[in-house]
């Protein structure tokens, strides 16, 4: 026997290796032997990271650190996707390995390559339960809980360590772990608190979940136009009018509201009690009106929210560096597509100036408005506003689905620059098909009752 064996898994750059280091120090404080291997692969930040940990009575009792098939006493999963990997599951022994996993939906690299990527949460949890057994598999959204408790997600891994401890997963005392956190010296108060909250979550999961679910000023303040926490169409529209007013000006916000008012009235008349089509239009018209152009990027960097998020995620930093592909005088690759360049901290002054110039958007003095992408954006908006008029005149109880589909076409337009142009072309093709389908339902004769 080589003592206790564990695998800690997660995503590079989130502190997975630190958890292993804390366990190593805690073992040292209890005069036990400990060995660790960190396997970060080629992509240390953002890629899969695995730390194998062995703790035994003495260092001489440890002959091999890497945890082989079926030999793990604990799997501490700081990321659900990595936890469901084959190399982790093969180390699990059903009925013996304690498996704890953070259920937060953290997107892997595949998300950047596929716009329609979604996490197979249910399948991953099922695979973990099948490997460890229902009694040994334990799940909790540590990232959301840490964010609610501490204002950022940095305590999530220590929360999971406490969660594992309370489920009987560690051969160490709580005192030794907390002392090791203290000796590590990084955000000591928060990490000790996260460890203790993880223990409580294992003991009283519903209490902790209920505490996190309670609405509060910090949570409510984060509800933006894309969060769709509103229950009514009025709330959905009101939030977006407020956003568009800050984005451009009050008349711009009114333009949005007035376009929707026409459609909403038509839907209420044709299909009493229904707001399905209007809700789809509210989200998609906003998407085309609130494009993240140069002025908006500058506004978001300088309105205070970016600085606040930096303060939550980092205790300190030396400098900021921005990677941008300016549409005017920007670098181009061999294929003609834009290439990003690096800009130093001085760029924040440029952002403040550009944000103050947002009133030029859409005018003859808007230099960015002459680019092909901005002209395309204006055409898409005008076209969609015309489509909404067509949809308003086509509404009937039997045509709700046929009307919602073309109203939702802008949702297919994603990305920026040449990526956005490609997705817009696909969206336009789909728009044509869906409008033809709506027209066919209008032309379809009604069935006559048999005489």
pLDDT value, residue 192:
95
- 409 vs 232: CA distance, rounded Å: 22
Backbone angles phi, psi at 7, to 5 degrees: -120, 125
3-class SS string, 104-137? CCCCCCHHHHCCCCCCCHHHHHHHHHHHHCCCCE
H or E element at residue 9: strand 4-11
Written as one string, the DSSP assignment of 259-296 is HHHHHHHHHHHHSTT--HHHHHHHHHHHHHHS---HHH
Domain boundaries defined on the chain: 4-214, 233-292+371-443, 294-360
Per-residue pLDDT of the chain (451 residues; tens, 9 = 90+): 568 999 999 887 778 889 999 999 999 999 999 999 987 654 445 578 899 999 999 988 888 899 999 999 999 999 998 899 899 999 999 999 999 999 986 654 444 445 554 457 888 999 999 999 999 999 999 999 998 898 888 899 999 999 999 999 999 999 999 999 999 988 899 999 999 999 999 999 999 998 887 654 333 334 455 544 445 889 999 999 999 999 999 999 999 999 999 999 999 999 999 999 999 999 999 999 999 888 999 999 998 888 888 877 776 777 888 888 877 666 777 777 778 888 888 999 999 999 999 999 989 998 888 888 899 999 999 999 999 999 999 998 888 888 999 999 998 888 777 778 888 998 898 999 998 888 887 655 444 444 3
> To which residue do tokens 């181009």 refer?
332
CB of 230 closer than 8 Å to CB of 241: no
Q: Are 434 and 404 in contact (CB under 8 A)?
A: no
**Could you tell me which residues are beta bridge partners of residue 50?**
9, 39
Structure tokens at 352: 């403040």
73 and 100 Cβ atoms separated by less than 8 Å = no
Burial of residue 189, with CB atoms counted within 10 A of its CB: 0-12 exposed, 13-18 middle, 19 or more buried: exposed
> What topology is assigned to 4-214 in CATH?
Pyruvate-ferredoxin Oxidoreductase; domain 3 (3.40.920)
Bridge partner list, 331: 339
Output the pLDDT for position 451: 35
* Helical H segments across 133-216, by residue range: 142-150, 156-166, 174-184, 188-203, 205-213
Q: What is the DSSP letter of 118?
A: -
Q: Which two tokens stand for residue 414?
A: 């994603």
Indicate the length of the chain as a whole number. 451
* CA separation for the pair 181, 18 (Å, rounded): 9
| Pair of tokens at residue 321 | 């560096």
First-to-last CA distance in the chain? 87
CA distances from 237 to 101, 226, 390 (A): 38, 11, 21
Indicate the pairing of strand 137-140 with strand 98-102. Answer: parallel
pLDDT for position 229: 41
Between CA 308 and CA 85 the distance in angstroms is 35
Residues 28, 56 contacting (CB under 8 angstroms): no
220 Cβ neighbours under 8 A, 6+ residues apart: none
Note whether 130 and 138 are within 8 A (CB). Answer: no
- 74-77 and 137-140: which strand pairing? unpaired
Helix (H) and strand (E) counts in the chain: 20, 10
pLDDT at position 324, please?
Answer: 83
d(CA 9, CA 381): 45
| Residue of 39, 40, 36, 83 lying closest to 56 (CA atoms) | 36
What does the pLDDT read at residue 219?
Answer: 38
User: In b/e form, how buried is each residue of 205-238, taking b as 16+ CB within 10 angstroms?
Assistant: eeebeeebeeeeeeeeeeeebeeeebeebeebbe
138: burial class by Cβ within 10 Å (0-12, 13-18, 19+)?
Answer: buried
Cα→Cα distances 246→101, 154, 157, 289, Å: 40, 31, 37, 12
Q: What is the DSSP letter of 343?
A: E
**CA 380/CA 402 separation, integer angstroms:** 20
Q: Which helix (H) or strand (E) holds 352?
A: helix 347-356
């Amino acid at each position: 026997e080589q003592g206790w064996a564990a695998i800690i898994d997660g995503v590079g750059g989130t502190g997975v290796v630190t958890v292993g280091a804390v366990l190593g120090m805690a073992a040292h404080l209890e005069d036990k032997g400990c060995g660790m291997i960190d396997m970060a692969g080629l992509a240390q930040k953002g890629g899969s990271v695995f730390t194998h940990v062995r703790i035994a009575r003495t260092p001489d009792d440890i002959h091999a650190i890497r945890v082989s098939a079926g030999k793990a006493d604990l799997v501490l999963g700081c990321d659900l996707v990595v936890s469901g990997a084959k190399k982790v599951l093969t180390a699990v022994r059903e009925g013996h390995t304690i498996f704890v996993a953070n259920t937060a939906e953290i997107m892997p690299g595949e998300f950047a390559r596929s716009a329609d990527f979604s996490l197979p949460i249910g399948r991953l949890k099922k695979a973990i339960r099948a490997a460890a057994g229902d009694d040994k598999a334990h799940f909790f959204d540590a990232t959301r809980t840490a964010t609610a408790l501490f204002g950022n997600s940095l305590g999530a891994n220590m929360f999971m360590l406490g969660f594992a401890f309370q489920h009987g997963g560690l051969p160490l005392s709580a005192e030794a772990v907390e002392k090791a956190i203290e000796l590590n010296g990084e955000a000591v108060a928060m990490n000790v608190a996260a460890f203790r909250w993880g223990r409580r979550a294992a003991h009283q999961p519903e209490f902790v979940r209920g505490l996190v679910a309670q609405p509060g000023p910090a949570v409510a303040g984060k509800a933006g136009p894309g969060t769709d926490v509103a229950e009514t169409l009025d709330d959905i529209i009101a939030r977006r009018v407020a956003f568009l007013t800050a984005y451009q000006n009050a008349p711009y916000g009114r333009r949005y509201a007035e376009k929707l008012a026409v459609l909403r009235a038509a839907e209420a008349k044709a299909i009493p009690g229904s707001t399905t089509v209007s809700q789809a239009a509210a989200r998609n018209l906003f998407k085309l009106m609130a494009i993240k152009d140069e002025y908006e990027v500058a506004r978001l960097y300088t309105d205070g929210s970016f600085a606040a998020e930096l303060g939550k995620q980092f205790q300190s930093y030396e400098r900021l560096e921005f990677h941008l592909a300016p549409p005017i005088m920007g670098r181009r690759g061999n294929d003609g597509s834009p290439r990003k360049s690096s800009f130093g901290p001085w760029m924040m002054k440029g952002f403040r100036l550009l944000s103050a110039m947002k009133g030029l958007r859409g005018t003859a003095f808007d230099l960015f408005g002459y680019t092909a992408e901005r002209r395309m954006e204006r055409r898409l908006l005008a076209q969609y506003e015309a489509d909404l008029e067509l949809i308003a005149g086509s509404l009937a109880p039997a045509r709700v689905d046929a009307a919602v589909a073309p109203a939702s076409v802008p949702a297919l337009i994603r990305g920026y620059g040449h990526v956005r142009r490609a997705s817009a072309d696909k969206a336009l093709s789909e728009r044509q098909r869906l409008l033809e389908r709506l027209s066919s339902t209008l032309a379809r004769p009604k069935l006559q009752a048999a005489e």
